[in-house]
Structures are given as C-alpha cells and as structure tokens.
Amino acid sequence: MLEFPKDFAWGAATSGPQSEGNFHKANQNVFDYWFEKDPKAFYDGVGPDTASNFYNDYQTDLPLMAQAGIKALRTSIQWTRLIKDLDTGEVDPTGVEFYNNVIDCMLQNGITPYINLFHFDLPIKLYQEFGGWESKHVTDLFADFAEKCFELFGDRVKNWFTFNEPKVILDGEYLYQFHYPLKVDGPAAVQVAYNLNLASAKAIKKFKAWKKANDSDAKIGTILNLTPAYPATDDPEDKKAAKFATMWDDNLFLDPAVLGHFPAELVKILDEAGVLWESTPEELELIKDNTVDVLGVNFYHPERVQRPSVSPKSLQDWMPDIYFDNYEMPGRVMNVDKGWEIYPKTLYDIAINLRDNYGNLPWFVSENGMGVSREERFMKDGEVQDDYRIKFIQDHLVQLHKGIEAGSNCHGYFVWTAIDCWSWKNAYRNRYGLIRDDIHTQTKTLKKSGRWYKKISDDNGFEED
C-alpha cells in the first residue's frame, strides 16, 4: 500500500473559461473574441460559449465531483465575468453572486476551493487598448482585480493562485501562434515574461496587505507547468542546450516566484542578445519581496532537447529556441492522440529539484492527466472504461510518492480534469475528465477512473501493482 501524507489533498483542476460558458458575462476575453472573429480556427467550430455548462450546472456538477473523490477543486475566477468596468474595477453584481454561490456550494459538498486568478483569459479590451501583457499598466489592473477577489471571497477561500502556466502565454500568443493574438515576436515574449512575474508579485503584495488587515491564515502561490529538459546525450553541447531550455521554460518563472530573482545566467544571455526586458530597481525589489507561500506544479510530459542544428550566432530573428532543438527519444512511450511523451519519472525529478534547490517549499501537483480522442470507443454499458487514464495517474503517483518519501514537501495531487472541459483551440477533441460530458445533452456521468479515484482519495493511497 502506497500511503500519502496525512491531510494530503486529493483534487481536480479546471478553469472558469473552460467550464462555465459565456452566460451573462460582463466582457469578452481573448478567446471569446477570437471565436467570434474566426470560428473555423477552433476544432469542429466549437467555441467557449457553452463549454461544460458549469455556470448552469454547478449545483449538480459539484456533488458529482464529490462522488469521484474530489475533495478539493482548483478553478479560476474570470476577470471578464467579475469586473464590469475594466478601467475603474467596478464589479458586476451577477458575477459576484455566481462566484459566491459556487464557493458556497463547494464547501457544502466538502470540496475545498483553490482559486486561480488568471487562466490565459485576458479581457480583449486590455489587448486592444494597452497591448495586453506587454503593458505594465495591465499589471496594475490585474493586481487591482486580484485585490477585489480577496475582499469578496477571502472569508471562505484559503488557497489563492495568481497565474496558471504563464509560460503558455508566451508560447501561444507571442512565439508559436496557438493562442490569440497569434504573434511571432521573441523580444516581446521576453518583456511579457517579465511583466507576468511583476503582475504576480504586485498581486501578492496586495494579498499580504489584505491578509494582515483581516488576520487571515490564507496562502497564495502560482501555478507553473514545469518541464525540465533532458539532454539527448552527454555531449557538452547537448547539456548546454538542455540547461538553456530549462532556464527559459522553468526557471524564468520558478526562480522569481520562489527565490525572488531571475536566473543570473539567463539574464546575461538575454542581455548579450539585446533582448533583455525593461525593468526598474523598484520593480525588481518588489519581485524580491513578494514570493509565493506555495507552488502548484502542472506536469504532463518531459522535454528532450539537443544542440541546435544552426548556431544561435547566425543572423536570424531572436527566438528562445535558437539555443536548442527538440529531440524525440527512440522507443518512447507516447500519448499518440496528444503527441506527448509519457515519462512519469520526471515528476520525481521535479520533486527532488524543489527539495534541493527551492528551499523545499510546500507544493502540490496542480494538474496531471491524460486526454485521448474518440473516447466513446471505450464505452461499455454506458460507462467509459478508461483504464489508460487510471494507469497514467497511478504511474505518476508512484513517482510522486517516491519523491515524498525522499523528503519533498508535496501535499496534494489534482487531476486534470474533473468533468470533460472545453480546451482552447481543440474544444473537445481530447477528453481528460474523470466525469464524461455529453456536450450535446450536457449529461454528465462517472467514468471508471472516477470510481477508481474515489477509492484512492478515500484510502489516501492505493495498492501498487
């Protein structure tokens, strides 16, 4: 029996824009706008307008989640639902009422709320008027939005998070064109990375002031998708490539969040390339003084790299991947539907890295899961027989348990996701839920994995195969 620590949090994660639908929202976010402008860019033409209908179904969805053993739920508050006037920060009463009701319903069902403040869903108006996260003014608006959330819901929410996967904002919006506004601008991505770290620190500063004024025991953190890069070989040039990839993909956000400063070697490389962000001593001091209490780690797949086939000294536009090429390891196990390698040992490696290099801060797995397409092919007697998902989760929990046994300070595991949810460009192509959502009828039913997850959640562990 692999037993997990006492009070280990067994949860699931989703987000407001992927679950709620657009019902009665005060403003559009970038995905709402993009779908309205170009619906063909989305898989099967399915946009975010209904999603999994959580806005209308939360009173039945949350008890169903409890039946799947979900004792904690990480979701997000949509800036575009809560705030009516994006300039003044005036709230929308309908949005306030909705989130109050959801939080109360979570607690009534024995589900602890973990609330995230930003899940890729910036109000489109802030792009159109200020350039989005390229603007430091937007970092102030975000901190004000965060403060409003603390004031409205902090009496019941004890677990707050500023951002989900800030690196994906760079990748999708500024480098590889899979999120609106579909730019390819490496130097802008560098500035956005800095601004996101600054925005998080500003929100944490507001949180600290609110916490002190209200004598609260709440904690605040951030959610990072960590993908430490493995070199293709022991060749020094492959190792150099892997070091840069890890600094760019992980440490660019991990170091400021936990240690209060950016990696010196990365700063030097960016400065020598002429692309280093614009910063002030006051801003850097603010980042230093406002680190996280807790870290959420999203993990799905490893990263493998090799030396770049073209020297980064070549005449070319600056992009982070001029310092490395991706490497596909022969014989790797894959989730073919998603195109991701399955390598659970990375979760152990992350656990040890956080133990040894980041003060062994409290952390939890905030997302981990397996999505496959055409999941109806595994339906039998009305239930999805998703043994592949059970194996994926169990294999990762085995490695996580090894990390905990080795002293890493991990206190929870959240599967992505509770109920099949809408996924950015890919809509419902790949299903991740412990609970199936028939999007045509919005009928939701437990999968085999949901019944299995209930057992391990109740037992706080499982028998290792």
**pLDDT tens for each residue of 115-144:** 999 999 999 999 999 999 999 999 999 999
Q: Span 172-185, mean pLDDT?
A: 97
Dist CA 383 CA 438 (whole Å): 12
Q: Are 437 and 52 in contact (CB under 8 A)?
A: yes
Structure tokens that stand for 2 in this block: 């692999």
Whole-angstrom distance, CA of residue 367 vs CA of residue 182: 25
Q: Tell me the residue ranges of DSSP E strands in 167-284.
A: 219-225, 229-231
**Could you tell me the CA-to-CA distances from 44 to 79, 429, 432 in Å, in that order?**
27, 8, 18
Say if residue 38 is exposed, middle or buried (CB neighbours under 10 Å; 0-12, 13-18, 19+): exposed
Structure tokens at 340: 């991701």
**Burial state string for 330-367 with b = 16 or more CB within 10 A and e = fewer than 16:** eeeeebeebeebbbbebbbbbbebbbeebeebbbbbbb
Residue 147 and residue 89 in contact, taking contact as beta carbons nearer than 8 Å: no
pLDDT digits 0-9 by tens, 358-392: 999 999 999 999 999 999 999 999 999 999 999 99
Query: What is the predicted pLDDT for the residue at 278?
Result: 98
Is 3 designated active site? Answer: no
Indicate which residue of 20, 165, 173, 303 is catalytic.
165
Q: Active-site residue 36, yes or no?
A: no
**Mean pLDDT score of the chain:** 98
Q: Residue 228 corresponds to which tokens in the numbers above?
A: 């430490």
Closest CA to 257 of 189, 376, 166: 166
Residue 124: its pLDDT value, please?
98
Question: Could you tell me the pLDDT band of residue 212, with boundaries at 50, 70 and 90?
Answer: very high
Average pLDDT over residues 89-99: 98
Q: Residue 459: CB partners within 8 Å, gap ≥ 6?
A: 1
At 88, is the pLDDT very low, low, confident or very high (cuts 50, 70, 90)? very high
Mean pLDDT throughout 152-156?
A: 98
CA 191 to each of CA 109, 153, 158, 172, 219: distance values in angstroms, whole numbers, following the listed order:
42, 32, 31, 15, 28
Q: CA-to-CA distance for 4 and 453, rounded, in angstroms?
A: 14
**Domain coordinates in residue numbering, the chain:** 2-462
**pLDDT(57) > 90:** yes
Long-range residue pairs from 342-346, CB within 8 A, at least 24 positions apart, any chain: 342/301, 342/370, 342/392, 342/395, 343/301, 343/302, 344/395, 344/396, 344/398, 344/399, 345/399, 346/227, 346/228, 346/299, 346/301, 346/302, 346/399
pLDDT over threshold 90, residue 397: yes
The whole-number average pLDDT for the span 396-422 is 98
What is the mean predicted confidence (pLDDT) over 182-192? 98
User: Each residue of 38-53: pLDDT tens digit?
Assistant: 999 999 999 999 999 9
pLDDT of the residue at 314: 97
Which tokens go with 143?
Answer: 């901190």
Question: Is residue 465 very low, low, confident or very high in pLDDT (cuts 50, 70, 90)?
Answer: confident
pLDDT in tens, 255-307: 999 999 999 999 999 999 999 999 999 999 999 999 999 999 999 999 999 99
Indicate the length of the chain as a whole number.
Answer: 465
- Model pLDDT for residues 238-256, shown as the tens digit of each residue: 999 999 999 999 999 999 9
Return the CATH superfamily for domain 2-462. Answer: Glycosidases (3.20.20.80)
Residue 458 has pLDDT above 90, yes or no: yes
Q: What pLDDT is stored for residue 79 in this prediction? A: 98
Place of tokens 């998708």: 225
Percent of the chain surpassing pLDDT 90: 99
In this structure, are residues 161 and 296 in contact, taking their beta carbons and an 8 Å threshold?
A: yes
**Looking at residue 330, what is its pLDDT?**
97
Q: Which candidate in 20, 147, 303, 367 is catalytic?
A: 367
